[in-house]
Amino acid sequence: MTQHLFVADPPERYQVAKDSTFALMLAAQQRGHGVWWCDTDGLSADSGAARARCRPIRVQRVQGDHATFGEVAVRDLTDFDAVWMRKDPPFDLDYIAATYVLDLAPDRVWSRPESLRSWNEKTSLLRFPDLAPPTLLARDMATIRAFQAAVGGSIVLKPLQFSGGAGIVALHPGDLNTRSLLEMSTHEGRRFVVAQQYLPAVVEGDKRVIFVDGVARAGLLRIPPPDDLRGNIHIGARVELAPLTAAERVLCERLGPSLRAAGHLFVGIDLIGARLTEINVTSPTGIQEIRDLGGPDLAEELIDAALARLG
């Protein structure tokens, strides 16, 4: 029997109508595959062998009664056909240490562990400067202020270690909070942040495009609440199924081969006005909303793609 291990946050927290990890678990289970779960504290490596202290899990679409666990077992990662690394940030040393364990079974881990480390969601677009708005990675506050002056308007500050829009703020020219926001975002110059040119089209929504093994499969327009900059679903963004424009298709065709070569099976990029603003590789979401709005069942496609990669 095909076996899947999900390294992820506790299933008790999942929203069965929204969570992509839940959708992947259910898709695998409905095929008769074995589904197992552990958090990163269950991972260990000993003399070259990677292991997981994990539990079998069965899921169903009944919120509050959606996950049932079996007995704890310690298994080698090589016992599994696919290992899904779906742990939400913070992207910190504990997260990186977990990828060191996963390095010992790289051919069955999605995404590939070394690429999880090297493709930070906020900074990896620096590899594709012609596809993105002006973007700076820095921690020096004077450098960030000079960048804002150079782009001639508003910028957005993004912390590197969080997800789901946490900590993202906009700086507008003349804002009396500028110095304070820079101090908080950079911890007074001790932490790097991404500064990115503000794109006014964000008020019309940002488009999440889901890639399956390097191919753009569907787009989801996320329209932010009137009182918020961010288009994240969990903070109340409205969503619509959104076909790709011609310009967006060109961008995705340029990006896709690099994603596939890096071993990124499941990626959600963010676009504002056909400009690339993020490349989400740790635990992208949106596949349930896409299916519910009449788009493809990407959970099924992702299971197919993972097994196809095994040959």
Give the pLDDT score at 235.
52
CA-to-CA separations, 98 to 2, 8, 190, in angstroms, rounded: 23, 11, 25
Give the pLDDT score at 166.
74
* CA trace torsion 298, 222, 207, 292 (10° rounding): 20
Q: Fold for 201-304, please state it.
A: D-amino Acid Aminotransferase; Chain A, domain 1 (3.30.470)
The class level of CATH for 134-198 reads alpha beta
* Same CATH fold assignment for domains 3-118 and 134-198: no
Give the pLDDT score at 165.
66
Residues of the chain with pLDDT under 70: 163-165, 227-236
Q: Fold for 3-118, please state it.
A: Rossmann fold (3.40.50)
* Two tokens, residue 223: 């329209």
Helix-strand-coil split of the chain, %, nearest 5: 35, 30, 35
Give the pLDDT score at 237.
72
* DSSP result, 83-133: EEEEPPPP-SHHHHHHHHHHTTSGGGEES-HHHHHH--TTTGGGG-TTTS-
What's the distance, CA 236 to chain centroid? 18
Q: Give the separation between CA 73 and CA 263, rounded to whole angstroms.
A: 28
Domain ranges, ordered by start, for the chain: 3-118, 134-198, 201-304
Residues 6+ apart with CB under 8 A from 187: none
Residues 6+ apart with CB under 8 A from 243: 219
H-type alpha helices, the chain? 20-30, 93-102, 113-118, 141-151, 178-186, 246-261, 287-292, 298-309
Contact at 8 Å (CB) between 164 and 233?
no
Give the pLDDT score at 229.
59
Active site residues: 122, 158, 208, 222, 230, 270, 278, 280
